[in-house]
Amino acid sequence: MDHNLAVLIDGDNIPSAYIKEMMEEIAKYGNPTIKRIYGDWTKPHLAKWKGVLLENAINPIQQYAYTQGKNATDSAMIIDAMDILYSSKVDGFCLVSSDSDFTKLATRLREAGMKVYGIGEKKTPDPFIVACDRFIYLEILKDSEEKEPDENGKGGKKRQKKNVDKITPKVIKLISATISDVADEDGWAFLGDVGSLLQKKQPNFDSRNYGYEKLTPLISSIPKFEVESRSGQNSRFKLIYVRNK
């Protein structure tokens, strides 16, 4: 059964270019029954958003800037989020912003038993990231490979996405420690358990950050780890286990 989600978007802080990929990503975690975007719609910088709101059934909320240079959408989003929380109509929230001002809101919603997903750009401060159950970077939602135009202007050969992070010793240490945390006596750990614990330890951990669609190929690419595929007792699907070499 899908969880009902409230999707609240900080229009002043998020580019409209990501809307299609963002809504597809949100659908993986639940049914977005409430979709609202906040901003001062009299301002020209939100013009690009206006064209995609109807296509995605997102309700625009007008919020005038009370003071020059200050973002007025924050308070409106926070007030609405608390109203929605007490209405008991949703099981979780998706807060779309790169602004650390929503850190306290994410913490409060989780205290109330809500699942909180954050979506923002890689410039998002750490306090907001760790306040969420899961945080997804907008940059990785675009196709990992984009086609370069050929001489005729059509899609030609593919090029790798530029926003890929390097697999650092710190990342390897995090994965290694997590495998040890859930491993059996022989050192083998079920990959699903490893992935779940990685997410709890580091909400923004995502194999797509490193250029891999799934966790299995990411771990397989690191020589320090051994990967084994096993047949499930009552399943036609293979179960993936990993361990430290």
Cα distance between residue 164 and residue 208, in whole Å: 8
Q: Is residue 153 part of a domain?
A: no
Q: Count how many domains the chain has.
A: 2
Q: Where are the beta strands (DSSP E) in the chain?
A: 4-10, 31-39, 59-62, 92-96, 115-120, 134-137, 145-149, 155-160, 189-190, 225-231, 238-244
Q: Is residue 58 part of a domain?
A: yes
Do 136 and 33 lie in one domain? The reply is: yes
| Residue 209: domain span | 169-244
Q: Is residue 68 part of a domain?
A: yes
- The CATH number that applies at residue 215 is 3.30.420.610
Query: What's residue 177's pLDDT?
Result: 96
Cα distance between residue 61 and residue 66, in whole Å: 15
Q: With beta carbons less than 8 A apart as the criterion, state whether 138 and 121 touch.
A: yes
Query: What's residue 96's pLDDT?
Result: 95
Do 56 and 16 lie in one domain? The reply is: yes
Query: What's residue 22's pLDDT?
Result: 93
Q: Is residue 185 part of a domain?
A: yes
Q: Which long-range contacts (CB under 8 A, 24 or more apart) does 140-145 make?
A: 140/206, 140/208, 140/209, 141/18, 141/21, 141/22, 141/24, 141/25, 142/18, 142/21, 144/208, 144/211, 144/213
- The CATH number that applies at residue 107 is 3.40.50.1010
> CA nearest 25: which of 164, 161, 123, 136?
136
pLDDT 10s digits, 178-235: 999 999 999 999 999 999 999 999 999 999 999 999 999 999 999 999 999 988 666 6
Q: Specify which residues 7 forms β-bridges with.
A: 35, 94
